[in-house]
Amino acid sequence: MSDLPPTSPVVPRPFSWRSFGRFLGNAALESLDGGKVFYVWMICLSAVFLVGANAWAVQVRDGMALTNMSDHVSWGLYIANFTFLVGLAAGGVMMVIPAYLYHDEEMHDIVIIGELLAIAAIIMSLMFVVCDLGRPDRFWHLLPPFGRLNFPVSMLSWDVIVLNGYLFINAYICAYLLYTRYLGLTPNPRWYVPFVFLSIIWAISIHTVTAFLYCGLGGRPFWNTALLAPRFLASAFVSGPAFIVLAIQVIRQAVGRHFGDGPIRTLVNIMRITILVNLLMVVSEVFTEFYTGGAHTSSGRYLYFGLHGHTELVPWIWCSVGLVIVAAGLLLSPSVFTNPWVLNTACVLAFIGIWIEKGMGLIIPGFVPSTLHEIVEYRPSAIEWKVTAGIWALGLILYTLFIKIAAGIFLNRTKLQALPDIQPAPAPAETPSISATS
Amino acid sequence: MSSNGPTGKEGNGGTDGGGGGCGKSDCGCVSRRTVMKGVGATLGTAAFARAIAPLTEWAANISADEFLQRHYKELSLVDLNIVLRRLEKETKDDYGAEVTISDPKPQEGVKFGYALNLSVCNGCRKCAEACHIENNHDRPSHQSYIRVFEMQKGTMDMEQGNVNYDKPVPQPDKFYMPVQCQQCEHPPCVDVCPVEATWKEPDGIVVVDYNWCIGCRYCEAACPYHARRFNWTKPEIPKEEINPDQGYLSNRIRPQGTMEKCTFCLHRTRNGRLPACLEACPTGARVFGNLLDPKSEIRWVLEHKRVFILKEDLGLKPQFFYFFDS
């Protein structure tokens, strides 16, 4: 994208809510247009989403007994995915920091890929929380002034605030950038750069606060460690960039343009460090648990080796450890920059490894053994897998559409005149294109 | 994903992009693509409506009054009365039982405490059973607020305890330790609740507004005593087994998807009666009373016996005490 010279854009139009509405309309229409691959992809995702929606509806009607959660393991796959997705959302910031703090121009051009990921991931994480609620109809109890948000005592109330705040900040930034570009204007840094810096701090906060949800509980020694929040961040800064690298490559194929080698190199360099920091923290925790021993470490023993013959999580966690170690090896090898297969494999392995580690490997052992040292194991039920797949499908649908909207505007394909504005557009919609610099 | 290289070509030209359709165009410009999209959207919407149909069945069981009910602490006496009558009617409709739901208030100068004599408890689990009946617990899951642990003599390590024992009691090498809500002075379950659906009453009892709880189960994760329970389904109780003497904050039948917990039977104890678990205990292991009354039995126990507190190191200051004779 950036190889094109900045040209004086299409005749600028003034901002108005009406034209913003039209912009949204055009963008939505444009985003639904695509080739065969696009439609197959979207139909498959929609089908999975429908299965998930149905599973959730049944779960709400018949009760959460349809999940395999219990009074002993009272959070399961949903909260596991929620935790991971907060990290994925925070991980998008690893594009924003190089772009805005280190003025990496090439990264700057495509930083919206990370910002849109943050939006999709936050929406998914919020949906996982809603699906975990026994009474989703009482959701309004969280919303002042009619509800009673227990702020600032409950960390969950903080989480509600920071997650929604992060969603709004990113939605605003993306909408502003895309809309100004659509109008043919150059985005005014005054109107969005402060929010970008806010989003950087906010990204750290969402994962920190989410870690505080768990590590503030004195009755759960497995979570009650000061290392939890730093570990969350380290792993988020692996999974986020890994996803973005893969996304960039898919987008390159889809729009038929080559871009983003520089950003990918930067993201790989980031992952090379964060994945090692994450492994170091795992080693540190494992050492503390096993060298000390005692009752407080029984969750750790259950997770890694099983406890009194209960070994449900052992394959999960060793799978995760293996994936992350292999990914680290691949990322550190020089061929990661030359061989796309090495890069892609590393990203996929790291992503799955962290998904297990931040999900099943973190949430479930907090409950096993229970606070009264009973051992009740947990394996997600079919309903839980369906709902989980459904939310992921919806997230991917949203992300695909967001990226299509952005690509359409950045590549000047979204047609300004599609829904007629004040006058027929003077319309050099076919001009070579606006450069993506903002 | 979006292979939109060729995209624009078809739907583009004179016809304004894919799905729009220009209002005034009668040139037969509605492309095949647009029609397909229309069909797709219609089918998709229909499929979605079908998929979430169970939600409408579920919503039909929630009245507007129930949905809009305010937090317990925001209800005036009149409002509260309306709510209590509504709940009685719902119980009648759902379970066929005539019940009375009251809302006894905490008494001035009373702070409840509970002590349990581990030297005499024989592990018969009569307390857990009494709790099950008194508090209108779900029958199929045998729910109870009390879990009795069979512990190995010579250790207080709960990891060596067993809650699913099935031998005659008491076994000679065992002792027995019932655990229920410890009614902490600093309850972590109350702190973590995002909607203030649970709180500590002036007489020391931690209660839940079952009609305000959103069912996030954060309190269940926070409690170190495994004292909280979730209603994974709508509780099932045969009509004739329902305890009709119910309290709003205690033993009324809880709605599906909400938390519940031991309330020291406040519908009894606030009216001068003893908790059901105490009345059921055949060994006299349980002592209940007012911690603020220097002449109460519980104060005597705390002053004269070897008392200990479960997980005292957590600093939550429970008002539930264990003690040994001699």
Write the pLDDT tens digit of every residue in A283-319: 999 999 999 888 889 999 999 999 999 999 999 999 9
CB of B8 less than 8 A from some CB of A? yes
Sort out which chain A residues have CB atoms less than 8 A from B156's CB and list them.
Answer: none
Closest CB to B194 among A156, A366, A373: A156
| Distance (Å, whole) CA B116 – CA B281 | 11
Q: Cis peptide before B178, with omega less than 30 degrees from 0?
A: no
Closest CB to A57 among B53, B163, B256: B53
Cβ contact, residue pair A30, B18, below 8 Å: yes
Which of B45, B60, B75 lies at the terminal end of a domain, its last residue? B60
Q: Are B3 and A36 in contact (CB under 8 A)?
A: yes
Instruction: Tell me the CB-side half-sphere exposure of residue A415, using CA atoms within 13 A.
Output: 21
Residue B21 lies in a domain: no
Domain at B231, CATH number: 3.30.70.20
Residue B15 lies in a domain: no
Residue B273 lies in a domain: yes
CA-based nearest residue in chain B for residue A154: B192
Cβ contact, residue pair A403, B217, below 8 Å: no
Q: Are residues B186 and B300 in the same domain?
A: yes
| Distance (Å, whole) CA B295 – CA B298 | 9
| Distance (Å, whole) CA A45 – CA A39 | 10
Residue B189 lies in a domain: yes
| Distance (Å, whole) CA B127 – CA B124 | 8
Q: Are residues B162 and B299 in the same domain?
A: yes
| CATH number of the structural domain A17-410 | 1.20.1630.10
Q: Are B206 and B190 in contact (CB under 8 A)?
A: yes
Phi and psi torsions of B131, nearest 5°? -60, -45
Q: Which two three-digit tokens encode residue A280?
A: 């170091």
Q: Are residues B51 and B141 in the same domain?
A: no
Closest CB to B257 among A135, A250, A298: A135
Sort out which chain B residues have CB atoms less than 8 A from A139's CB and list them.
Answer: 214
Please name which of A7, A8, A11, A9 lies closest in space to residue A425, comparing C-alpha atoms: A11
- pLDDT tens digit sequence for A230-260: 999 999 999 999 999 999 999 999 888 899 9
CA-based nearest residue in chain A for residue B34: A33
ipTM: 0.89
Sort out which chain B residues have CB atoms less than 8 A from A406's CB and list them.
Answer: none
Between B10 and A62, whose confidence is greater?
A: A62
Between B37 and A282, whose confidence is greater?
A: A282
Placement of tokens 């004292």 in the chain? B227
Q: Are residues B237 and B168 in the same domain?
A: yes
- Where does the pLDDT of residue B1 fall: very low under 50, low under 70, confident under 90, or very high at 90 and above? very low
Q: What distance lies between CA A389 and its chain's CA centroid?
A: 15
- Where does the pLDDT of residue A182 fall: very low under 50, low under 70, confident under 90, or very high at 90 and above? confident
Phi and psi torsions of B154, nearest 5°? 95, -5
Q: Which two three-digit tokens encode residue A72?
A: 């002993």
Q: Are residues B40 and B161 in the same domain?
A: no
CB of B218 less than 8 A from some CB of A? yes
The total domain count for chain B is 2
Residue B17 lies in a domain: no
| Distance (Å, whole) CA A2 – CA B299 | 79
Please name which of A238, A235, A240, A232 lies closest in space to residue A111, comparing C-alpha atoms: A240
Please name which of A408, A379, A371, A51 lies closest in space to residue B51, comparing C-alpha atoms: A51
Inter-chain CB pairs, A–B, below 8 Å: 241
- pLDDT tens digit sequence for A87-100: 999 998 999 999 99
- pLDDT tens digit sequence for B294-325: 999 999 999 999 999 999 999 999 999 999 98
Classify burial at A332, counting beta carbons within 10 Å of its beta carbon; exposed 0-12, middle 13-18, buried 19 or more: middle
Q: Are residues B173 and B319 in the same domain?
A: yes
Q: Are residues B117 and B180 in the same domain?
A: yes
**B220 CA to chain A: closest CA distance, Å?**
7
Q: Cis peptide before B170, with omega less than 30 degrees from 0?
A: yes
Residue B12 lies in a domain: no
Sort out which chain B residues have CB atoms less than 8 A from A38's CB and list them.
Answer: 1-4
Closest CB to B195 among A54, A61, A147: A147
Closest CB to A156 among B6, B11, B192: B192
Biggest alpha carbon distance in chain A? 76
Placement of tokens 């603020």 in the chain? B292
Closest CB to A373 among B47, B159, B217: B159
Lowest-pLDDT range of A14-18, A372-376, B196-200: A14-18
Residue B229 lies in a domain: yes
Q: Are residues B42 and B117 in the same domain?
A: no
- pLDDT tens digit sequence for B182-199: 999 999 999 999 999 999
Residue B146 lies in a domain: yes
Relative orientation angle of helices A340-358 and A314-332, to the nearest 10 degrees:
150
**pLDDT number for residue A38:** 92
Cβ contact, residue pair A154, B192, below 8 Å: yes
Cβ contact, residue pair A141, B195, below 8 Å: yes
CB of B222 less than 8 A from some CB of A? yes
Q: Which of residues 86-145 of B touch A (CB under 8 A)?
A: none
- pLDDT tens digit sequence for B187-241: 999 999 999 999 999 999 999 999 999 999 999 999 999 999 999 999 999 999 9
Q: Which amino acid is at A129?
A: V
Q: Does A436 score more than 80 pLDDT?
A: no
Cβ contact, residue pair B3, A35, below 8 Å: yes
Phi and psi torsions of A81, nearest 5°? -70, -40
Q: Which amino acid is at A29?
A: L
Where helices occur in B119-168 by DSSP H, the ranges are 126-134
The domain in which residue B39 lies consists of: 30-60
Interval A425-432 mean pLDDT: 41
Please spell the DSSP secondary structure of A385-420, one letter per residue: HHHHHHHHHHHHHHHHHHHHHHHHHHTT-S-TTSS-
CB of B47 less than 8 A from some CB of A? yes
Q: Which two three-digit tokens encode residue B271?
A: 């009216």
Q: Measured between alpha carbons, how far is residue A31 from residues A166, A396, A405, A407, A438 in Å? A: 24, 14, 5, 9, 22
**pLDDT number for residue A185:** 85
Q: Are residues B250 and B133 in the same domain?
A: yes
**A254 CA to chain B: closest CA distance, Å?**
5
Q: Are residues B42 and B186 in the same domain?
A: no
**pLDDT number for residue B108:** 96
Q: Does B10 score more than 80 pLDDT?
A: no
- pLDDT tens digit sequence for A310-343: 999 999 999 999 999 999 999 999 999 999 999 9
* Local structure of B1: helix, strand or coil: coil
Q: Are residues B238 and B317 in the same domain?
A: yes
Q: Are A90 and A230 in contact (CB under 8 A)?
A: no
